[in-house]
A = this chain, B = another copy of it.
């Protein structure tokens, strides 16, 4: 349990750093950047919990907010070093979304969502923080652009639910499913892969 909790806080911090950096890049003040960090780190899990009709974990456990402030602090004092770490960041982010996907899917199943909703909500946990962040700064959300990001999460959540259904060992299931998210994400970045688009005559309006 303790290691899960530690990874959860660490993942929250990494997401907070990425949110705060997006704010700094946009020339947003330190308060706004902290808000962006918060939204990025907390948004996905909160949305999952709201749909499950339970209280998001950060409302009662202050450590999550402290992890976010610590992430913002790092983004301020180390912003120049962080730029040269872009590749490392993609790596950490890929680990992070793998982890959050598995944790989110498990939590949804624990709170008796249907299997198919658990897959959606697992993906939401990992990917929706970034969507809300992008909407706030008026950019088209990542999820609607060509990169493979949320679909990597979805694949992992699907695998997790399937293996769970077949009574596969839970620890191994978590590890394998998170690894699948990680691998799909890393491979798609490395080879610049994307999903197909349905062709339409764009001049026509429905």
Interface residues of A (CB under 8 A from B): 18, 21-33, 35-36, 38, 46, 50-56, 58-62, 65-66, 75-76, 79, 82-83, 86, 89, 112-117, 120-121, 131, 135-141, 143-146, 148, 150-151, 154, 194-202, 204-206
Contacts of A145 in B (CB 8 A): 28, 32
Supposing A29-B194, A30-B197, A60-B117 touch, asked if A53 and B53 sit within 8 A by C-beta, the answer is yes
Report the minimal beta-carbon distance from A6 to chain B, rounded to whole angstroms. Answer: 19
Contacts of A31 in B (CB 8 A): 143, 148, 150-151, 154, 195
**B196 and A29: CB pair below 8 A?**
yes
Supposing A51-B46, A52-B59 touch, asked if A29 and B200 sit within 8 A by C-beta, the answer is no
**A89 and B206: CB pair below 8 A?**
yes
Copies per complex of this chain: 3
Report the minimal beta-carbon distance from A43 to chain B, rounded to whole angstroms. Answer: 11
Q: How far is the CA of A206 from the CA of B115 in the complex (A)?
A: 35
**A76 and B23: CB pair below 8 A?**
no
Question: Closest B-chain residue to A84, C-beta based?
Answer: B204
Supposing A18-B206, A62-B117, A66-B116 touch, asked if A140 and B138 sit within 8 A by C-beta, the answer is yes
Partner pick for A196 among B30, B59, B61, CB 8 A cutoff: B30
Q: How far is the CA of A3 from the CA of B53 in the complex (A)?
A: 28
Q: Show 27 A/B contacts (Cβ-Cβ < 8 Å), sorted by A.
A: A18-B206, A24-B197, A25-B200, A25-B206, A27-B197, A27-B202, A28-B197, A30-B196, A31-B148, A35-B143, A46-B51, A51-B59, A59-B113, A60-B113, A60-B114, A62-B114, A62-B115, A62-B117, A65-B120, A75-B198, A79-B198, A79-B200, A82-B206, A83-B204, A89-B206, A135-B135, A138-B140
